[in-house]
Structure 1
Amino acid sequence: MTENYSKPRQQAEAAFGKIQSQFFARERAFEELDAIVVARDEKTLRLREARLAKELQDSMKPAPSPISKRVRKP
């Protein structure tokens, strides 16, 4: 079922389709950027938690005893 539209209608439909495809491409780009931001934030949170756990573990270790230097008598 093909419909014949007037020339101005066909041009308007083509222009609308072009704008609509640009809109969807823009939305897709924003979705990709949002996904990148979410992934970066998740990684940052994981790394921060790992760093804090390591710092806590290191702070619970006993401090190493200082090495005393022997003084030789001449």
Structure 2
Amino acid sequence: MTQSHSKSRQTAEIAFNSLQAPFFAKNHAMDELEAITQSRDAKTQRLREARQAKELADQAAATSALLAKRNPMR
């Protein structure tokens, strides 16, 4: 069932929608930026944890090598 509205109502709705479109576009853009920021922060955290784990493993390997060099018979 279609409703027919007066010409002035149709004009008003078109004007209202044209004002609302930029508002919703701005919100959508902000949501996209927030998603990008969260994604970047998550990746940075993963890389930081991987780097710290590698540094810890390298430090342990260096310590083991130093101890093996110091006491070769043990």
User: Where on the TM-score scale, by shorter chain, does this alignment land: which range?
Assistant: 0.7 to 0.9
Which runs of structure 1 show a deviation greater than 2 angstroms over 4 or more consecutive aligned residues? none
Q: TM-score scaled to structure 1, two decimals? A: 0.73
Q: Between the two proteins, what is the percent identity of the paired residues?
A: 10
Q: Where do 5+ consecutive residues of structure 2 fail to align?
A: 1-14
Pairing of 1:1-74 with structure 2 (within 5 A):
6-63=16-73
Q: Within 2, Cα distance between the matches of 1:29 and 1:8? A: 32
Radius of gyration: which is bigger? 1
Q: Which string of whole-angstrom CA distances, capped at 9 and with x for unpartnered residues, describes residues 15-73 of structure 1?
A: 11111100100000000000011101110110000000000010011458xxxxxxxxx
Q: Where do 5+ consecutive residues of structure 1 fail to align?
A: 65-74
Higher relative contact order (CA 8 A, sep 6+): 2
Q: Within 1, Cα distance between the matches of 2:61 and 2:72? A: 19
Summarize the Cα distance change of 1:6–1:56 in structure 2 as closer, same or farther, 3 Å threshold: same
Tell me the matched-pair count: 60
Residue type of the alignment partner of 1:34: T
Q: TM-score scaled to structure 2, two decimals? A: 0.73
